[in-house]
Structure 1
Amino acid sequence: MQVSAGQAKLGADQITEAERGLLDFVTIEDGLGPQSSRRHEPDERTDQVRGRLDAVLIASRVAPLTRHIGLVPTVVATHTEPFHISKAIATLDYVSAGRAGLRVRISARPDEAAHFGRRTIRRTDAPDGGQPITELFDEAADYVEVVRRLWDSWEDDAEIRDAATGRFIDRDKLHYIDFEGRFFSVKGPSITPRPPQGQPLVTALAHQTVPYRLVARQADIGYVTPHDADQARAIVAEIRAEQQAAGRAGEPLHVFGDLVVLLDDSEAAARARLDRLDTLAGEPYNSDTRVFTGTAEQLADLLEELATGGLTGFRLRPAVTGHDLPRVTGDLVPELQRRRRFRTAYDATTLRGLLGLTRPANRYATTAA
């Protein structure tokens, strides 16, 4: 069973705690505007944190402090350039010695679009001007395709580094990607050598058919939000069908279930803590996924039940990082190990290796006759 952690405010101490618990990777949230309690616009609240550090820079800072755990920062594809992100994640893969990934997401917030002065975005496909939100996912798919091609634009042995002759690169092993699409025109090659993993992990969160299609077309891991095993089974079936339609039926694709978790010694204690948090916030906690309150044993039971729906792992979101993450590493992990459902030591040196994914061949490399 694969288990990772995702949270908006993970710092160095929390990430090293996740590594102590032998988790596969952590995801680090990001956005192009301040956090908001409203889905598509900013709010005026001053009693909650607004603003955050860049996720890719956080991952790069934490990488030298860790040895095994994967680092997966969020990247907003809508208003950033794939060339810059490709080299940033490639650099992270070098800094972490093969433990990098990215979580690609779109932005449909008008205030973020206005900040960049590029376009307005509408949340439906009604003909009222602006860019349909479905197009944002098509754009994100092209974005990832460009990033992947740029990672391959250097063959693995393109660097010569021959001081005697002054040759650093074999230019025949650098490749123009010549991508021409609806949203991007990119010639390449990259300015960063091919990453240690060849292709760092691409992940995405999906709630319905259009983002499922993005996962099926371009991701190595999709995060989904089922509330029970039957719903998980239906989601996995839809993603697998989209994967086949995209011509990727033979490629590995993990589907992880997301859960918000509040862990305590008893279910009553966990529910009481959630009630206190709701009172402090002045409103009930709402999430895009199931909110679990209970013990580590109960959570292990739930994970095993959800896994029968075809999920290959889980991304757990600690409701309160300082409380619930140590509960995951200190209580849940030992319980899963007792059930022989989780590793007892890291068994690979790269993130792809931890997830059972092989290092892909370079699409541009030619094999000598």
Structure 2
Amino acid sequence: MSHRVPRLGVALDNAGWHPAAWRRSGLEPGTLFSARYWVDQVSALERAGLDFVTFEDAFSGTSPSAASTDPALGTHAVRGRLDALLLAARLSAVTSRIGLIPTATVTHTEPYHLATALATLDHTSRGRAGWQVRVSPRHPEAQLTGRRTVPDVPLLDLDDSFVQGLFDEAAAVIETARALWDSWEDDAVIRDLATGRFLDADKLHHVDASSEWFTVAGPSIVPRPPQGQVLVTALAHGDVAYRLAALGADVVFVTPRDGEHARDIIAEVRAAERAVGRIGTPLRIIADVEVVIDITSAAALLRLAELQGHRVRSSDATLVAGSADEVARLLESWAAAGVDGFRLRPAENLQDLPAITGLLVPELIRRDLFDPDGQVPLGPGWSGESRPADGPVLLRARFGLDRPPNRYHDDLAPLATRRTLETAAGAR
């Protein structure tokens, strides 16, 4: 990467990633669904200098963090949520620096609508938009839209070919979104008063994407995003998801247990990149960890025990309860293994977010694992128009990623890291 200091972000999900977090929050009913709750949290993270924040989302009413371990939580877990994309749009108006990465499901959503909404977010945030891609293998979620049939069986019992099909579809959606973002060349808007032309029609392009799941003609209704391409991310736990990330993403979130496991995961991700024939910049690998942070290890463990007493939670990510020093030591071992940054999942937001900003961030700075004031250097492809002198560092640049050339521009298309639907299908 063009910078050595790891990137640092937080994953937000309702009252926290532990399903019992709402029981200890003391919040009034409805607070989780207010704009002020989210503005306060994200503003605090931005003031602490964090690089990005992600927002969980799903078609089901139950939090993904809860549903992933206990789909029968019923009324004992937070039910209902704000739409992540719309929430990020609201937050783009009250933040100026931090990257905003909503989760958006591809399985039951039209690619055109996703692409235009994400491009709009990039414009309203002035180049700070990302997208966490999610597939939906759950029968209850399919019933909400009625567009397709999903087997009514436990996730572990789903047929491998069915699961592969979901990820194949996701790869096609990502590629189509990328084509739609490029369907306007950067200088398509000319505003020529003399001729009365607002657009140069020759600089708008049909994407003509066709697959077994959808057909999209294009062009987009939204001009090309300020970043050129919205930052695409994916959470991955195994080979199928690693290959999806290698095909279409810029950043992959992974869940190592320790430094040795982090090295193994990095090797698996790089192997997936080779398997699909990825060209261009390698994936940025960000390690997830769920945290309960307190002044002392004993205080953190006591708080975790209280949470678990309400509702036992197992996590797909490593769960660490301890002091800021203990959490920082784990992250340091992951950085030594070669990850490009960290994404923290606070167990309960009202307790752990202040601990992250007030305790962990200073410890990471002391260990040279985070630099909230550091400017990320801009590489080739960034222009003065893309980043005004008084504007934010764009999200792609925070990860050391250049602004991609437009695939439809005659001079730049050969340089673009384009992967057509046919190429993506042939690499599987």
TM-score range, shorter chain: over 0.9
Q: State which drifts further: 321-330 or 256-265.
A: 321-330
User: Given residue 347 of structure 2, which amino acid in structure 1 is its aligned partner?
Assistant: A
Aligned-partner Cα distance in 2 for 1:286–1:184: 37
Following TM superposition, by how much is the alpha carbon of 1:41 offset from its aligned partner in structure 2, in angstroms? Answer: 8.7
Match of 2:239 among 209, 213, 217: 209
Aligned-partner Cα distance in 2 for 1:41–1:268: 28
The answer to whether the 8 Å contact 1:7/1:318 transfers is yes
User: Given residue 203 of structure 2, which amino acid in structure 1 is its aligned partner?
Assistant: K
The answer to whether the 8 Å contact 1:113/1:120 transfers is yes
Following TM superposition, by how much is the alpha carbon of 1:27 offset from its aligned partner in structure 2, in angstroms? Answer: 0.3
User: Given residue 323 of structure 1, which amino acid in structure 2 is its aligned partner?
Assistant: Q
SS of match in other structure, 1:132: helix
Following TM superposition, by how much is the alpha carbon of 1:125 offset from its aligned partner in structure 2, in angstroms? Answer: 5.6
Aligned-partner Cα distance in 2 for 1:247–1:145: 15
1:218 matched to 2:262? The reply is: no
User: Given residue 367 of structure 1, which amino acid in structure 2 is its aligned partner?
Assistant: D
Aligned-partner Cα distance in 2 for 1:126–1:195: 38
Corresponding residue for residue 21 of structure 1: 48
Corresponding residue for residue 46 of structure 1: 75
The answer to whether the 8 Å contact 2:346/2:353 transfers is yes
Aligned-partner Cα distance in 1 for 2:403–2:44: 27
Corresponding residue for residue 366 of structure 1: 410
| Structure 1: runs of 5 or more not aligned | none
Aligned-partner Cα distance in 2 for 1:351–1:285: 32
Corresponding residue for residue 56 of structure 1: 85
Match of 1:99 among 109, 118, 128: 128
The answer to whether the 8 Å contact 1:40/1:108 transfers is no
Aligned residues: 363
Q: State which drifts further: 352-361 or 338-347.
A: 338-347
Q: State which drifts further: 63-72 or 350-359.
A: 350-359
User: Given residue 150 of structure 1, which amino acid in structure 2 is its aligned partner?
Assistant: L
The answer to whether the 8 Å contact 2:183/2:408 transfers is yes
Corresponding residue for residue 7 of structure 1: 12
Aligned-partner Cα distance in 2 for 1:314–1:42: 28
| Structure 2: runs of 5 or more not aligned | 1-5, 15-36, 377-392, 413-428
Aligned-partner Cα distance in 2 for 1:137–1:187: 22
User: Given residue 98 of structure 1, which amino acid in structure 2 is its aligned partner?
Assistant: G
Aligned-partner Cα distance in 1 for 2:121–2:67: 32
Deviations 1:282-316 (A, max 9, x none): x3221111101111111111101012222111110
The answer to whether the 8 Å contact 1:34/1:52 transfers is yes
CA RMSD of aligned residues (A): 1.8
Match of 1:136 among 157, 166, 170: 166
1:34 matched to 2:61? The reply is: yes
Match of 1:260 among 265, 290, 299: 290
1:337 matched to 2:341? The reply is: no
Following TM superposition, by how much is the alpha carbon of 1:26 offset from its aligned partner in structure 2, in angstroms? Answer: 0.3
Aligned-partner Cα distance in 2 for 1:143–1:98: 21
Aligned-partner Cα distance in 2 for 1:249–1:362: 16
User: Given residue 25 of structure 1, which amino acid in structure 2 is its aligned partner?
Assistant: F
Q: TM-score, normalised by structure 1?
A: 0.94
Q: State which drifts further: 74-83 or 252-261.
A: 252-261
Deviating 4+ runs (over 3 angstroms): 36-44, 122-127
Aligned-partner Cα distance in 1 for 2:243–2:146: 28
Match of 2:332 among 281, 304, 310: 304
Distance 1:158 1:271, change over 3 A: same
The answer to whether the 8 Å contact 2:11/2:344 transfers is yes
1:80 matched to 2:109? The reply is: yes
Corresponding residue for residue 89 of structure 1: 118
Aligned-partner Cα distance in 2 for 1:268–1:231: 27
1:180-259 equivalences under 5 Å are 180-259=210-289
